[in-house]
Amino acid sequence: MVTRLRVGLIGAGANTRSRHIPGFRAIEGVTIEAVANRSVESGQRVAAEFGIPRVCSSPAELLAIPGLDAVCIGTWPYRHREFTLAALEAGKHVLCEARMAMDATEAEDMLAASRAHSALVAQLVPAPFDFRLGPTVARMVAEGQLGDILEATVTVLNGSGLDPAAPIHWRDRAEYSGHNVMTFGIFAEVIQRWLGDARRVTASARVNVPARRDPESGRDLRIDVPDSLTAAVELARGARVLYHFSSVASGAPNNGVVLYGTKATLRWSPDDHATWAHHGGEWQPVLPDPGTDRGWQVEADFVDSVRNGTPVRLTNFEDGVRYMRLTSACHESWRTGRAVDIQPL
């Protein structure tokens, strides 16, 4: 028997429209009942496009709808804590967009609230980069196929930020994104899945384009989120990970992740393909373990947890706090010029 599930949307940005709305609508018995967007007008446009029956003027109005079971929070990080706590207090299951929060303190508040309402599902939208090979790479590491992992590199370089005339993006503004910088947090989540927790970070960062035009106000606004970041991260397992992110470094030939073990090396590329080789051996492709290449199943997994009590795996609030602690420690290291320890959860 299909259990009906009524969902409300708080925020309906690009990922909500392209992923979450189609994902929920594809599940039998799930209906999207209402939307509260940044403005009533933008909410009306989303409702008209997707046939959502009710537009709310505020998240509070949406959360007060009788019989609403769950909310999908698709805002920028600056409202994640506020709306998650309000939704849980209102008795709603929560699917919250990544990155989890503005900083580790906010993430810890969200985790505490989820534990205080343990009968409700609290799930984060996971980093999607390794849906094809992530479980296989994690297994290979756990089984010692690469030997002991001594070092890893994460390189994500592009020229997307080189044009100073390009308009400002919300990700350029710390008031909206907090301690989150480019895709550092997303890759930190992936590395956390494969190699475990971070325990110490030393970071350096720079803002190369100091201001950009805001299309809404027509004014030039100061950029306070780095467009270049390097971080040396020590893991609890003893390995060292070197991160390099830049949106002003065009033409990089080898973006991706490399794991260096005592027995073998694995090279992962951003298209979620990988090769590996024992030292001195031939390179061979890494193929997904049977049944592990599930693709995007975020909404289906959330509904399964609500209906059947299946534990949240990708991504639970505990794992979100872990990557947010690294993100905030990286920010502190950049600002203070010193190494910062990361407390385990």
Chain length of the chain:
345
Q: Looking at the chain, which runs of residues are DSSP E strands? A: 5-10, 30-36, 54-55, 70-73, 93-96, 122-124, 149-157, 198-206, 211-213, 220-222, 228-235, 240-246, 256-261, 264-269, 273-278, 284-285, 340-341
What pLDDT does residue 2 have?
61
Contact indicator for 178, 115 with CB cutoff of 8 Å:
no
CA of 91: how far to CAs of 88, 278, 298, in Å? Answer: 5, 52, 21
Measured CA to CA, the distance from residue 169 to residue 97 in angstroms comes to 18
111, 318 Cβ separation under 8 angstroms: yes
3 state SS of 94: strand
Residue type, 227: D
CATH number of 134-294+324-341: 3.30.360.10
Q: Distance (Å, rounded) from C-alpha 76 to C-alpha 19?
A: 16
pLDDT of residue 26: 97
pTM: 0.96
Residue whose entry in the numeric block shows the structure tokens 């950049």: 334
| Contacts (Cβ under 8 Å, ≥6 apart) of 241 | 151, 152, 153, 154, 191, 195, 198, 232, 233, 235
The domain limits of the chain are 5-126+296-312, 134-294+324-341
- pLDDT means per 10 residues, the chain with 345 residues, are 87 95 98 97 97 98 97 98 98 98 98 98 98 98 98 98 96 97 98 98 97 95 97 98 98 95 98 98 98 97 97 98 98 98 96
Asked if the bond preceding 99 is cis, omega within 30° of 0, the reply is yes
Q: Report angle CA 212, 215, 218 to the nearest 5 degrees.
A: 80
Q: Rounded CA gap, 135 and 154, in Å? A: 18
Report the relative pairing of strands 228-235 and 198-206 from DSSP bridges: antiparallel
pLDDT (0 to 100) of residue 1: 43
Res 294: pLDDT: 93
Can you name the CATH fold of 5-126+296-312? Rossmann fold (3.40.50)
